[in-house]
Amino acid sequence: MAMPTFQLAPDLPPVSRLCFGPASTFLLSLFLFLSPAVGLTLLECGGVLAGTMTMGEQSGAASSLRLLDAASDAGVNFFDSAEMYPVPQRRETHGRSEELLGRWLRARRAPRDSVVIATKVAGPSGQMTWIRGGPTALDSQNIAGAIDDSLRRLGVDYIDLYQIHWPDRYVPMFGETEYDPSRQYTSVPMEEQLEALGKAIDAGKIRYIGVSNETPYGLMKFLQLSNDFQLRSKLLTLQNSYNLLCRNFDSGLAECCHHERVSLLAYSPMAMGILSDKYHLSDDCGPPDARMNLFKGRYSEGESRYKLQSPSVKGAVQEYTRIADKHGISPAVLAIAFVLRHPLVASVVFGATKLWQLDEVLQASRVHLPQEIYAEISEVHARYPNPCP
C-alpha cells in the first residue's frame, strides 16, 4: 500500500503523513494525516515525516541510517530535526542529529525536491551554553546564525520548514498548566523574529516557517504580525504535543488552527512511549533501555510532564491498553491512530529507535478507528482528563 500524503503547501511535494522525528538519539518523525473513518480498516499510507531527536544519542549512526532507509522505503519523505538534537542535550552531541540526517541525504542521493526537511531554532536557555552562549535570546542574529549552522550540518541549500522550537517569552510548558504573570521577562519582539525569518526566505535559505510549543496567544499574535511582513502565507504549522494523555490543544489552539488554517504537527503521540504500556507491564518500571529509564535524571522536560508513578497516568494507560486488547490492536497502534483521526492534525511526528517500532508505526498509519472505539476512548478521557499536560 502507498503511504498516505498531505499537501502542506502548493509548491511542496505531498508529504508523508507519518513524520519520523525527535527522540533520545535519532528519531524518525512521521507526518501522518488521516481523515476520520467509519470502520477499523486499512488504507493506503502516504504522508510521513521522520524526526531525528534521538539520532546520535539513543540511536547510533549505523542504526539511525538503517531506520532512515527503512522509513524512506516505506514512503516517508518528511523529516524533522532541530539544532539542539539529540536529546538529552549535551555539548558533545550538539547538532549530531542534523549531521546524521545530512549524511543520509547524501548517501541516499534522492532528488532534493523529493524530500521535505524541517528543523528548529532553539529558544532562550540558561543551560545549553554551547549553542551561541545559551542562547540568551531568540533575536535576529541568533536566528540568522542558527539557519546557517543548520544548512551546513544538513548539507543542503535550503530548509523547507523552519520552526521556532519554543517562544522567547515566559509561557507554561512541559507539565505546567497555569500562567504566572510574575514570571514575565523582557523578550525579543516577535516583529524582530519575523523580520529575520523573512530575510532568510528572501535569501532562499528557508521556504516556510512554523512555531512550536506555543499558546493560543502566541500563535494568534504571530499570525497577526506576519501580515505586516507579508509572511502570512508562509506560516504553515504549529508543532505541539498531542496524545491520549495530553489533549490541551483542543482547549484553545484547535479553534485558532481551524479558522487560521494552520496545520498541527503532533509530537509525542506515544507520550514518550508510556502509551505502549511498557513502563507499567511490571513492577520494575519497564525495560532498562527505554528512554525514560536510560536517561533518568537527565531528561527534565520529559520527566516533568510524564510522571510514571502518577496514579492518574497509570490508570489511564491501563484503560487505553484494555481498549486496544479488546479490539485486537496494540496499545501503540491505538495511540497513533487516535492522533491521526483528529481533523486538524496534518502529521504525526513519531520517533523510533528500532525497526520493529517503525513497523508498528507504519501499521498504525493504515488503521482507521471506528466510532465505537472513539466512544470508549472518550469515556476514559472523561475519567482521566489530560494526566500529562
Please give the angle made by the CA atoms of 245, 246 and 248, to the nearest 5 degrees: 150
- 6 backbone dihedrals φ, ψ, rounded to 5°: -135, 135
Exposure string over 52-89, b if 16+ CB within 10 A, otherwise e: bbbbbbbbebebbbbbbebbbebbbbbbbbbbbbbbbb
Q: What is the pLDDT of residue 295?
A: 57
- What tens digit of pLDDT does each residue of 152-194 get? 999 999 999 999 999 999 999 888 889 999 999 999 999 999 9
Measured distance CA(193)–CA(207) in Å, rounded: 15
Computed on alpha carbons and rounded to an integer, the radius of gyration of the chain in Å comes to 19
The residue length of the chain stands at 389
DSSP label at residue 298? S
pLDDT at 37 over 60: no
- Residue 118 bridge partners (DSSP): 80, 161
- The sign one gets for the Cα dihedral 154, 158, 160, 166 is positive
Cell numbers given for 203: 535569501
Structural domains of the chain, with CATH? 5-273+287-300+339-368 (3.20.20.100)
Cell numbers given for 264: 498541527
The residue ranking higher by pLDDT, 260 or 64, is: 260
CB-based contacts of 58, cutoff 8 Å, min separation 6: 23, 24, 25, 26, 86, 291, 294, 295, 353
- Of the chain, the percentage scoring pLDDT greater than 70 comes to 83
Instruction: Determine whether 85 is an active site residue.
Output: yes
- What tens digit of pLDDT does each residue of 109-136 get? 999 999 999 999 999 987 899 999 888 8
Cell numbers given for 122: 532553539
H-helix segments, 155-252: 190-202, 216-228
Q: What is the pTM of this model?
A: 0.89
Measured distance CA(68)–CA(87) in Å, rounded: 18
Measured distance CA(205)–CA(105) in Å, rounded: 17
Q: What is the chain's mean pLDDT, rounded?
A: 87
Task: Evaluate whether 130 touches 136 at the Cβ level (below 8 Å).
Answer: no
Measured distance CA(91)–CA(131) in Å, rounded: 8
Q: Which is catalytic among the residues 85, 242, 279, 320?
A: 85
Instruction: Tally Cβ neighbours within 10 Å of residue 327.
Output: 16
